[in-house]
Structure 1
Amino acid sequence: MLPEKNVTFTPVTSCLNCGNPLTDKDFFCNICGAKKIEERFTPKRIVKEAGERVFNIDNTFLRTFKDLFVRPEKVIDGFLAGLRKRYFNAFSYFTIAITISGLQVFVLKKFYPEVVEQMGAIGGNPNAISQAIQDSTMEYQPLIMFATIPFLALMGFVAFLTLRKHNYTEHLIIQLYTYSHLSIVTTLIGLTVLIAGGDYLSFGLFTVLIYIGYNAYVYKRLYQLSIKGIILRTLFFLLLLLVLYVVISVAVVVLTLLIDPELFKEMIQQQQTV
């Protein structure tokens, strides 16, 4: 029993979520699983609930973060099989990745505007169009991250289609975990590089290799492939990604030409002066 000064003003005799009757010995509702809370709000309770709700201090997040390095198949296959308590939910993990990425964008814009300007340059020369694209990418980063995953899942689905293990929706879950994990890791490393005064642009290019390597590692463990098998399917994955990139690039150019011919001419002139 809680000390009298810590209990609520009225005893909890039924679940506040579903109305199921509760006894003094119940700590959770046996119908909906909601926790029975009789403790009054105190600073200690606020900190505790913030940890449980936001940071998940019960080590679920830390366990997920660690196991996505050492045993990613346990996290992903577990979630697909219905495991929900041991590891962080794929969608919640993606939300954390978006939040941390947003922190990086804020730090870049607030404290390192010269780096943002360099990112919007081509061949070391300032370029108004590329700078505008860079600014839009930062502004709509969460939306771009969310829109990227279906395309990556499609590439994974096609590349591993003959193995007949996961459907397209399950590949979405795989990419939610892998993309989110890489985003968290590379963002934290990137912030460290920024603060330490390192070459952030070179690190940004290196993250492409990190993505390719980690995805190959995850799929190898998920499908228990040989080194040769994962290399061949990774090359096929990259080929599909290249084809998709070309198709999207051509579509963007065509749309730009149709919607704003003057902007298209400006883009051509900018490229010729580089």
Structure 2
Amino acid sequence: MQSNNCLNCGSVLESSSIFCPQCGQKADTHRLNFHHIWHDLVHAFTHADKGIFPLIWQLVFRPGIVAREYVDGKRKRYFNPFTFAFVVVGFASVILIGSGFASFSGGSAMPANPISIFLDKHVNLLIFLNIPLLALFNRLLFRRSGANYSENLVLAAYTSGQRSIFFSMLVAPIWLMFHPPFYPFLAFYLFCWSCYYGWACTQFYSGRKTVSFFKGMLSTLLTQVVTVILVSVTFYIYFRFFYKRH
């Protein structure tokens, strides 16, 4: 469907225009059908320019470099970090709930309560909470780097999304197939995550890599501690002030 005006912003288009000079939308805008929707969906996930699958592969080997390049303005080549985190965390949350790896019911030691039920169904909220907390602790620990809070959020979003991919593709299958002892397995998983994040920090920040690595690990530890404290305080408030024993 060719028009003399951009269908998005209304700007006048030259006959030779491929894209609108004002908003960047394609001048040749087809009527939507299933073929175009499928093409756009596949393009969004697989295309070398901003595709999510190429991004996942790059985040395996160069997470800090990807985040640094995005912060420095090379944004056309990369999938948006916050969209990436939203998509993969949502996907991983379904697997996390289905695998039974994380449960807040506490077994028979904890009475049934709405807090546990809510967290069991919405564990993704805790994963999302980790992103701003990671950025906050990085802002404090790497304050001399000059990176502001928003720039630290980019690193936290990319790496947290990749953490969700790691859980979905490796941790959950191992848990379901072999069902290893929970706490040692959880500790190993968190240790791997801390090492990955510390490594990402060595790529994202300038300075001594060893220092950046351990600061990154400390950031994940502090984030985990604060998350546990927030959850524990929520349970305490409920059982202290709202729980009615029968």
2:192 alignment partner, SS class: helix
1:10-89 pair list within 5 angstroms: 11-52=2-43, 55-59=44-48, 60-89=51-80
Superposed displacement of residue 205, structure 1 = 3.9
Deviation at 1:61, TM superposition (A): 1.5
* SS of structure 1 residue aligned to 2:173: helix
Within the candidate set 132, 136, 153, 1:154 is matched to: 136
**1:105–1:233: structure 2 CA closer, same or farther, 3 Å change rule?**
closer
Distance change >3 Å, CA 130–CA 71, structure 1 → 2: farther
- Percent identity of paired positions between Structure 1 and Structure 2: 21
Name the TM-score, length of structure 1 as normaliser.
0.72
Q: How far apart, in 2, do the equivalents of 1:204 and 1:133 lie?
A: 22
Taking the TM superposition and a 5 Å limit, the aligned residue runs for 1:66-215 are 66-105=57-96, 107-108=98-99, 115=100, 119=103, 126-129=108-111, 135-161=117-143, 163-193=144-174, 197-199=177-179, 201=182, 203-215=185-197
Deviations 1:175-224 (A, max 9, x none): 111111111221222343356x2226464443211211111001111124
Report the Cα distance in structure 1 between the residues aligned to 2:227 and 2:33, rounded to whole angstroms: 54
Q: How far apart in 2 are the matches of 1:44 and 1:156?
A: 44
Q: Would you say how many aligned residue pairs link Structure 1 and Structure 2?
A: 242
Shift >6 Å, 4+ stretches: none
Amino acid at match of 2:194: I
Q: Report the residue type matching 2:138 in the other structure.
A: G
Residues 34/165 of structure 1: CA separation in 2 closer, same or farther (3 Å cut):
same
> Quick check: which has more Rg, 1 or 2?
1
In the TM superposition, what is the alpha-carbon distance from 1:99 to its structure 2 partner?
2.5
CA 1:30–1:244: 2 relative to 1, 3 Å: same
In the alignment, the residues of structure 1 paired with residue 34 and residue 217 of structure 2 have an alpha-carbon distance, to the nearest angstrom, of 54
> How far apart are residue 48 of structure 1 and its match?
0.7
TM normalised by structure 2 equals 0.79
Q: 1:104 offset after TM fit, Å?
A: 0.8
* Aligned pair partner of 1:221 in 197, 203, 220: 203
SS class of match (1:56): helix
Unpaired runs of at least 5, structure 1: 1-7, 109-114, 267-274
Measure, in 2, the Cα distance between the counterparts of 1:246 and 1:142: 15
The 8 Å contact of residues 4 and 13 in structure 2, kept in 1 or not, is answered as: yes
Per-residue deviation, 1:38: 4.2
Letter matched to residue 58 of structure 1: H
Can you list the C-alpha shifts for 1:1-39, whole angstroms capped at 9, x where unaligned?
A: xxxxxxx4xx32210111112233222111110112344
Letter in 1 for 2:165: I
